Structure 1
Amino acid sequence: MSLQSLKTVGYAPSAMPFSLVSMTIIFLCRPNDAQPLDFFCSENTTVYTSNSTFAANLKLVLISLSSNTSASGGFYNTSVISNSDQVYGLALCRGDVAADVCQNCINTASQEILQECRNKQEAIIWYEFCLLRYSYWKFFSTMVYAGKFPKWNEREQNVTNPDEYPIIWDNLMRNLITQTAYSKLMFATGEASVSNTEKTYGLMQCTRDLNRGECANCLRNEMGEFQTGSLSRTGGMVLDTSCNLRYEPYLFYNGSSASPTANGSGRKTWMIAIFISVPIFVLVVLGCLYAYYLTGEEEKRNANKVQNIPFGTPDFPEKNIQDGNQMNSSELPLMDFDAIKVATDNFSDSNKLGQGGFGTVYKGMLPNGKEVAVKRLSRKSWQGVEEFKNEIILIAKLQHRNLVRLLGCGIQGDEKLLVYDFMPNISLDSFIFDPIRRSQLDWRTYFSIIGGIARGLLYLHEDSRLKIIHRDLKPSNVLLDHDMTAKISDFGMARIFCENQNAANTRRVVGTYGYMAPEYAMEGLFSVKSDVFSFGVILLEIISGKRNSGFYRTEHAQTLLAFAWRLWIEGKCLEFADAVMLMDTNTRWKAEVMRCIHIGLLCVQEDAADRPTMSSVTLMLTNESVPLPQPIKPAFALSTLILQPNHSSSVICSVNMATISDISPR
């Protein structure tokens, strides 16, 4: 998913007594109905042209949203798929607005989004009374929270009772979450008295493609944005793709139509409250009795503190989502944030396993004795937020022996954590580039690791429910478990391809110097063959024990690839292999080493069309009878790339785990 910088907006007029002056202030501070509150245009997707099939399909989607949203009760989603180009669209009107207001808002949004996000394949725009979103991928029924609270909100005023207000606000918001999740429209409003003369009014809404648990979880996350330090203010709003929250010290919604007790529904509300309260009371009593019998089992209770907490809690049961393009939220549990902090000794340096451009990885020990690896994403990095969403969406859907397993995530305000199975042998680079540790493994183990990486990539490219391009495959992203089984990790830069999509282009190149295919590094063009190139580099690094990125302009050649090619054409390819690979006199092993060098050279050929697919690579690795074509001179283009800090292009690329901003041709 490419949405990466979803912002929030806040409003807070003066809290003075109701008068003509205060009415004027309210009018000035509330959003302009004709102007968008905010919009987002993804920079991480291919730009479409005005005469393309995508553009035609997008226009049909927007016309359908404009025509049907109001008539469908204020929510509508649709898609148009033709010529392998698909567009998915969704529109939502605020639950208390009239049909004509909804119609006008969606009409405006469908026109404005084309102006604000010209030629973008993914975008979303928010107005006070509606939101509209479209994308090239099927995002329906997929909730990944990405709301943020803005720093520029200067109009908000301080509350008059800072000690009592957070408690009053919290109670109101929690009641609204329950009402919203169980409401047919997934919309609710309410109010609470702050003092004898003041009130606070709240509004919550979810898109109706979510189930109850996902809606409740989305709104809880939005509550968390304010609970991290913004509750000294009298009003605010959070905008997200799947839910919205707003509160003000004045009545900003249509109270007559939106109130839960309007139109004679007070008796119904009380009946619902009774039906909900009685079972809850029984459950509480049973829970207390159960806790009594567990009083002496302190250790067990501590262990339960970090057991998986599903997105849909018992209060908000959810149905399973089986569609391969949707994420079942129960597949990825939330974990107690404070418990994760304790497990890592408050993220102490002694538990640090490594650090990358988007965050730091720590070793942790849960109370039940299970070892985990915790990735703590950078608080201030938008790329970190994007990586967090990508990891959740992708790894929750992907299950394979050669992919790292994500156990859960923890969220608290700006803090975002990913919890994985701990890999005791860390990563591949810690073995192949360390002379001492390298000698501890024999060729059979290295050959098994090579096969594991190939099978993991094959699953991503062809066998999984999604077609995934990793885009940052390198030895440090190949983890090793206690049996030295290879596990591909770090899907923060990965991209989902459509079933019939083979390539894409981006102006925002992400990856690691030395492993990027030349067409990607120079032109932003990436495909499954980009990952094949990275695999070929890793394969040659495993055999030689040398880094491609550290080989630049040595006495042997300009790059590791050039060195391998020179020895190949001279008929001396075994000289490319590290001595460790040839310690055993087994003739079969030497033949496998030579075959792997051959396959590695096929994978790093300059023209992507000349590189094999991962299905072919896997077959060539496992079946010696499969003939190998002769390789063509490999790509040396990466040796011509230099860093120019003052270059104006925006490219994200990491060198030895560090992030640089520019990369350009010599």
Structure 2
Amino acid sequence: MESVVFQPCYGIWVMMIILAAAAAAPVVHSRPDPPPQIAPTSPVLNHGDDASNSKALLSPGVQVGSENHHPMDSNRKLVVALIVASTALGTIIFFMLFFWIYLRKKIRNAHKSQTDSLQGSEGLAFGSFGAKYNSLKGSYCRRRSVSIMDYKSLETATGNFKDSHILGEGGFGCVYKAQFEDNQFSAVKRLDGGTQDAIREFETEVELLSQIQHPNIISLLGYCIHGDTRLLVYELMQSGSLESQLHGPCGGSALTWHRRMKIALDIARGLEFLHEHCNPPVIHRDLKSSNILLDSNFNAKLSDFGLAIVDGAQNKNNIKLSGTLGYVAPEYLLDGKLTDKSDVYAFGVVLLELLLRRKPVEKLAPAQCQSIVTWAMPQLTDRSKLPTIVDPVIRDTMDLKHLYQVAAVAVLCVQPEPSYRPLITDVLHSLVPLVPIDLGGTLRVAATQHAPPPSGL
């Protein structure tokens, strides 16, 4: 657009420069002034012709004077005319440029107002809340286009939210399997009720997942607001959650030793991205086996970012205590101190679940509970007892040296003192050598040792 507007201006300015140069240059006549005519002297003058002689002598001078003064007046008038014309032309061009800039600014503001109005009409006004997350940066941290979806289409895709479509249940609602007209499947989380906590978690989820992309973090496809109901649409993870695989009807039978190590490695990679590659770092704050989802190839992805916070976005010592009992780090539970080491503690609990297939908290009596950490810690460091407490599904299927190494990592992660826990990057480096090459690690093993489970699982 700019080139179209300014090309005529270049021609006008060139014309003005030529006219100004012409006005400043001296005027040169094509015909030179005639030399003064001097009457020939004669020793004898006719006194009767004095008058005519005088007239003849003066007439050339009068002609010369009249021919010189008339062109000079014309030149002055031409110069004045050129100056006036140039000034007028420059003024016109200035106002044309000013008017063009004004129009562009007006169009830009109108477009911005229209966009803001469109976003506001959907009922999702993040305000200053969203500004906390706009500075997230990283190799995968970039703003993505998240679709605003129609409620009727989601209602149809989930069979009017039938119970038979439920994939799981959360604190504020259920997750449904949805099938759209193009035969695409997704997972739809429905949050009922307009409580402040539900709204806050919904906003956090949309803001964070619209900026985060990573192979081990769930992808948000869209969202919808319908009255007090809010819906989030995710990619469908065909194998469900890690919790359902370990503690559900399958009883962990689909999870071989190498698959479990692959899942642990995927979780560590997702956490490392949040802690080390997002700027500022993100603390998940609700890492647990039910929030770790598995696709058809048992690749793990972190989900449910409703309780996540950006490190530095607020005073973490004064935030509301949230999380799930059994996964919450002791310093956060007792003193409200939250750091990335809180996520490392929760990772250690998940790692113990993978090893032992025990729930994070188990009831011993109606009023008595025991955590997996309290029960396992004395036995994890005893090499004679450790193999006997491992999940029977994977018992005797791994190299004992690898089992001891994983147990040592778990012990470090669940240390009561946060400073004793490793960084998630160190955990990641410890797990990579335990995972086969074709599953994303560096371990060379025979294919039969990590063969896929029978079809249909």
* TM-score bucket (shorter structure): 0.5 to 0.7
User: Are 1:373 and 2:187 matched, yes or no?
Assistant: yes
* Match for residue 527 of structure 1 among 339, 342, 348: 339
Partner of 1:573: 386
- The residue correspondences of 1:80-91 to structure 2 (distance < 5 A) are none
SS in 1 for 2:296: coil
Taking structure 1 as the reference length, the TM-score comes to: 0.45
SS in 2 for 1:375: strand
Rounded Cα–Cα distance in structure 2 between residues aligned with 1:403 and 1:212? 34
Rounded Cα–Cα distance in structure 1 between residues aligned with 2:300 and 2:343? 16
User: Are 1:582 and 2:392 matched, yes or no?
Assistant: no
Structure 1 stretches of 5 or more lacking a match?
A: 1-180, 187-209, 225-238, 243-320, 625-666
Residues 381 and 548 (structure 1 numbering): CA distance in 2 closer, same or farther, change over 3 Å? same
Rounded Cα–Cα distance in structure 2 between residues aligned with 1:486 and 1:390? 22
Superimposed CA distance per residue, residues 454-492 of structure 1 (whole angstroms, 9 cap, x where no aligned partner): 111001111134411000000000000011000100000
Rounded Cα–Cα distance in structure 1 between residues aligned with 2:410 and 2:380? 11
* Match for residue 463 of structure 1 among 277, 287, 297: 277
SS in 2 for 1:372: strand
Partner of 2:425: 615
Rounded Cα–Cα distance in structure 1 between residues aligned with 2:106 and 2:206? 26
User: Are 1:410 and 2:410 matched, yes or no?
Assistant: no
Rounded Cα–Cα distance in structure 2 between residues aligned with 1:522 and 1:338? 45
SS in 1 for 2:187: strand
Residues 463 and 335 (structure 1 numbering): CA distance in 2 closer, same or farther, change over 3 Å? same
1:366, distance to aligned residue in structure 2 (A): 0.8
* Match for residue 324 of structure 2 among 484, 494, 512: 512
Rounded Cα–Cα distance in structure 1 between residues aligned with 2:427 and 2:216? 16
Partner of 1:541: 353
Q: What amino acid is the match of 1:617?
A: V
Residues 451 and 332 (structure 1 numbering): CA distance in 2 closer, same or farther, change over 3 Å? same
Rounded Cα–Cα distance in structure 2 between residues aligned with 1:435 and 1:359? 23
Residues 495 and 363 (structure 1 numbering): CA distance in 2 closer, same or farther, change over 3 Å? same
* Match for residue 362 of structure 1 among 163, 172, 176: 176
Contact 1:479 1:489 in 2 (8 A): yes
1:335, distance to aligned residue in structure 2 (A): 1.5
- The residue correspondences of 1:195-214 to structure 2 (distance < 5 A) are 211-212=112-113, 214=115
Aligned length: 322
Partner of 2:447: none
User: Are 1:600 and 2:413 matched, yes or no?
Assistant: no
Contact 1:322 1:328 in 2 (8 A): no
Contact 1:358 1:381 in 2 (8 A): no
Residues 185 and 442 (structure 1 numbering): CA distance in 2 closer, same or farther, change over 3 Å? closer
Residues 478 and 496 (structure 1 numbering): CA distance in 2 closer, same or farther, change over 3 Å? same
Structure 2 stretches of 5 or more lacking a match?
A: 1-104, 435-457
* Match for residue 214 of structure 2 among 392, 400, 406: 400
1:334, distance to aligned residue in structure 2 (A): 1.0
SS in 2 for 1:550: strand
Rounded Cα–Cα distance in structure 2 between residues aligned with 1:496 and 1:240? 16
User: Are 1:220 and 2:121 matched, yes or no?
Assistant: yes
SS in 2 for 1:392: helix
Partner of 1:489: 303
User: Are 1:475 and 2:289 matched, yes or no?
Assistant: yes
1:518, distance to aligned residue in structure 2 (A): 0.5
Higher normalized contact order (CA 8 Å, seq sep 6+, divided by chain length): 2
Superimposed CA distance per residue, residues 151-192 of structure 1 (whole angstroms, 9 cap, x where no aligned partner): xxxxxxxxxxxxxxxxxxxxxxxxxxxxxx978777xxxxxx
* Match for residue 127 of structure 2 among 230, 236, 241: 241
Rounded Cα–Cα distance in structure 2 between residues aligned with 1:414 and 1:550? 36
- The residue correspondences of 1:151-550 to structure 2 (distance < 5 A) are 211-212=112-113, 214-222=115-123, 241=127, 324=136, 331-434=145-248, 436-498=250-312, 504-550=316-362
1:558, distance to aligned residue in structure 2 (A): 4.0
Q: What amino acid is the match of 2:303?
A: S
Q: What amino acid is the match of 2:338?
A: F
Contact 2:283 2:340 in 1 (8 A): yes
Q: Which has the larger radius of gyration?
A: 2
SS in 2 for 1:525: coil
Superimposed CA distance per residue, residues 534-574 of structure 1 (whole angstroms, 9 cap, x where no aligned partner): 000010011101012116579xx943212222113443222
Q: What amino acid is the match of 1:454?
A: A
SS in 2 for 1:472: coil
Rounded Cα–Cα distance in structure 2 between residues aligned with 1:329 and 1:610? 36
Residues 619 and 567 (structure 1 numbering): CA distance in 2 closer, same or farther, change over 3 Å? same
Rounded Cα–Cα distance in structure 2 between residues aligned with 1:616 and 1:551? 33
As a proportion of its length, which structure holds more strand?
A: 1
